[in-house]
Amino acid sequence: MDPITVWRALLLLFLLLELASSDDSDFVFNGFSRARGNLSMDGMAEITLDGLLRLTNGTNLKGQAFYSAPLQFKKSPAGRASSFSSTFVFGILAGYSQLSGNGIAFVISPSKDLRRNFGYQYLGILSPSTDGNSTNHLVAVELDTIYNPDLADINDNHVGIDVNSVVSINSSAAGYFANGTDIFKNLSLISGDPMQVWIDFDGTEMQLKVTLSPLGVIKPLIPLLSSTVNLSEIFLEEMFVGFSSSTGSFSSSHYILGWSFKMNGEARPLNISSLPSLPSRKTRHNRLALALSLSLGIALLLLLAISAGLFVLARKIRYSELLEDWEEEYGPQRFSYKDLYDATRGFKEAELLGVGGFGRVYRGALSSSGMEIAVKKVSHESRQGMKEFIAEIASIGRLRHRNLVQLRGYCRRKGELLLVYDYMPNGSLDKLIFDQRRPTFDWKQRFHVLRGVASGLLYLHEEWEKIVIHRDVKASNVLLDGELNGRLGDFGLARLYDHGNYPMTTHVVGTVGYLAPELTRTGRSTKQADVYAFGALLLETACGRRPIEQEAPEEEVLLLGWVLKNWRKGTILDCADPKLEGKYEGKEMELVLQLGLLCSHPLPPNRPNMRQVMRYLDGDASPPELSSIYLDGGVLEALQNEIFHRINTSSLSSISADAFPLSGPGFHSLKPGDGSSTSKSRERGMIV
C-alpha cells in the first residue's frame, strides 16, 4: 500500500469514528405519561395522572425535572458547542387574583441537582451566592412572571436568555410577531393558556434564538429574542437539560405539556392534538345536573327556604360586612368577611400574632388556596375619609417588591377594617435582635436584611409610579420571610391617622426614637423623615439596642448620641452588638454605623437619599466623610441636648414600654398613649 492510501484509510476511519461517537440525542414527549423513567425529578415536580409534567403547585415551592441522561454538548473540552434545538409547551395557572410565582426556566446545567440553589426568586436555578459566577456553566431561558428590579427585570411578564446569572443577557416582554408580519402581539404568561416556546442554537453562528407563541399558532418567523453568545465557553462536554420552576409567595402551578429536543438538527414537532390538557381554571356547572336538581328540588326548595332564611339571617349578622357601590372597582382586592373568619378560625385567640397600635393581627390560611395570610383588624369608627383610604389601599396593593410585605386586600365591616397581608413566617426583626432566648441573629443576616429594607424603601420612594412615604420605619415593622429576607410592612397605613379617624392622636405619626426632629415641627412626612428612621434602624440593628433605652446609663440613653460619642473618640466599633461576640465584618459594621449617623442627621438636607444609601451599602460608592457633614460647629450637640431635654421632660414612662413592645409581625407599636406622648413633647417646644 502506498502512503496515500493508508492516509486516506485512516482519515475515513477517523471520520467514521467521529460520526459513530456523535451522540445526536433526539427525543420527543407528547405528554409525559410514559416518561417517568426518562426524567429525574426533584422538589415538587411530578407527572400527573393526565400526563402533565407539573413542576410546582402552591406557594414557596420549587420543582425541577431533567432528562435523566446527560447529553453531549461538546465533543471535547476545547471543542465547539453543538447546535441544538428544542421546543416545549407550557402553561402557568396563577393562583389568587392573577398573581403568579416566579416562573419557569428551561435549563441546561452541568448537574441535575440544583438543591444548593435555594433562591425562589432565582427560579430555583441559582441563588444569591452563586448568581453570576462563571463556574455555574449554566444556560437558561426564563419565563419570568415577577418583576424584580434587583435582578434587572424589565416587567412581570417577560422572557429572558440567562447565562450563568438570572440577570438576563437579553429579554423581552412576552409576545410574538404575528404570522409572517412584524406586528407584535402581547401574551400573558400567567393567562393559564398553553403556549409554545422554541429554543434554537446555531453553533457556527453562535446564535441563540427564542420564539414564543400561543399553542396552535405556527412558529413565528421572527424570534422574540436572540443573543450571540459563545456557548463553547459556557458548556462542559456533558450537560443536562430540563426545567425548573419556583413559586415564591404567590401561589401558582407550573406545567409542561410536551417537550422535544434534538442535538445537531431541528427538534421534531410536537403533536399538539395528543398533548394533555391543562386543568381548567374554573369547573363549569354541569348543566344536566343543574336542570335535574332544579326540577326535583323545587318543592324541597320551598321548605328549605324557610329554614335557610333563619339560618342566613343568623349568618348574615355574624358575617355582615360593609359594601358600597363605590367599592365595586376594588373587587379583586375585596375579601369576604366569611373567608377571613374561616381562615383565622373565627379570629381565635390561638391565631393571634400580636397587638399593636393599629389593632390586632391574626394568622390564617385561606381555605380556597391554602395561602397563609396575616389579617390585621383595625377598628375605625368614622366612615369619613374611608373612600380615599380604600383607594389608597388598592393602590398600595399594587406595589410589588420582594422587600415589601404584600398587601393582598381588605374587607370592611361596621366599625372595623380588615387588611390582608402575606404571612411572614419569621416574625419581625426586633424579635430576632432583642430576644435573648434564641441564638443571635448573625451579622451576615442582619446586613442582608438591612440591604433588603433599603431596597424596599428605595422602591417606595423612587421606583414606583407614585412616591410612597412609609412613615413608620422601625424594627418591628421589618418582617422576615421564609428566606430571611427583610420586608417592610405597614407602609402607607399611617395615613389612616390623617383621615381623622383617630381623635386620640395628633397628625404626627411614627414611633418615638425614629421620629425625625423636623417632623414634630412641621408635622409633614417626607422621604427624608423615612431616611432618618432608617438611620435609627441601622444603628439599632448594628448595636442590638433600641433607639432610646431609659435603663441605660444617662449618656447612653439615646443610642444616636452614644454612637456619635464613640465615633468621635474613634471607638465606633465598641458600639457593635455584644451579642455578636465580635463575629462581624469590621468594614461592614463601620459602614452601617456611620451610615446610621449620616441618615440620622438632624438637618434633612444633610441626609443621603435612599438611592445613595443603596449604593453605599452595595459598596458602589463610599459615604461622604462624616466629619465634613456632621457638625463642627456643635450643631449636633445643641440638637442632642434638645432631644435629651425632651425625653427627660416628657413622661419617660409613656415613651418607653409602649413605644417598643415586642410585637408580632407587621404591627404598629403606636398605642393611643404614644400619640399623646408625642404631642406632649411637641407642646414642650421640641427642636430648633
Beta bridge partners of 377: 360, 418
Task: For residue 391, count other CB atoms closer than 10 A to its CB.
Answer: 14
Burial of 680 (0-12, 13-18, 19+ CB in 10 A): middle
Nearest in space to 223 (alpha carbons), one of 43, 23, 79, 87: 87
For the CB of residue 123, give the shortest distance to ligand NAG in the complex, in Å.
Answer: 19
Known catalytic membership, residue 574: no
Nearest-approach distance from CB 225 to ligand NAG, in angstroms: 4
Binding site for ligand NAG (CB under 6 A): 27, 37-38, 57, 95, 133, 135, 155, 170, 173, 179-180, 186, 223, 225-227, 230, 232-233, 253, 271, 273-274, 369
**Packing angle of the helix pair 635-649, 652-659 (nearest 10 deg):** 90
How far apart are CB 228 and ligand NAG at their closest, in Å? 6
Q: How many CA atoms lie within 13 A of 585 on its CB side?
A: 10
**Closer residue to ligand NAG (CB): 274 or 641:** 274
Give 173 or 391: the residue with its C-beta nearer to ligand NAG. 173
Taking the least distance from each CB to ligand NAG, the nearer of 332 and 578 is 332
What minimum distance in Å lies between the beta carbon of 450 and ligand NAG? 21
Q: How far apart are CA 353 and CA 536, in angstroms?
A: 25
Residue labelled with grid coordinates 454605623? 593
Inter-axis angle of helices 672-683 and 652-659, nearest 10? 140
Please identify, using beta-carbon distances, which residue of 232 and 566 lies nearer to ligand NAG. 232
Of 660, 558, 653, 545, nearest in space to 600 by CA: 558
Smallest gap from Cβ 254 to ligand NAG, in A, equals 11
Kindly tell me which of 172 and 654 has the beta carbon lying closer to ligand NAG: 172
Handedness of CA 399, 405, 410, 415 (dihedral sign): negative
| Amino acid occupying residue 585 | E
What's the 3-state SS for 31-93?
A: CCCCCHHHEEEEECCEECCCCCEEEEEECCCEEEEEECCCEECECCCCCCECCEEEEEEEEEE
First to last CA, the chain: 106
376 is in an annotated binding site: no
Inter-residue contact 85 to 241 (CB < 8 Å) = no
- What is the rounded distance in angstroms from the CA atom of residue 594 to the CA atom of residue 588? 10
Which residue, 49 or 317, has its beta carbon nearer to ligand NAG? 49
Least Cβ distance, residue 75 to ligand NAG (angstroms): 13
Q: In the numeric block, which cell numbers belong to residue 309? A: 332564611
R_g over Cα of the chain: 30
Catalytic site residue from 144, 430, 472, 490: 472
Residue ranges for the known binding site for ATP are 377
State the catalytic residues.
Answer: 472
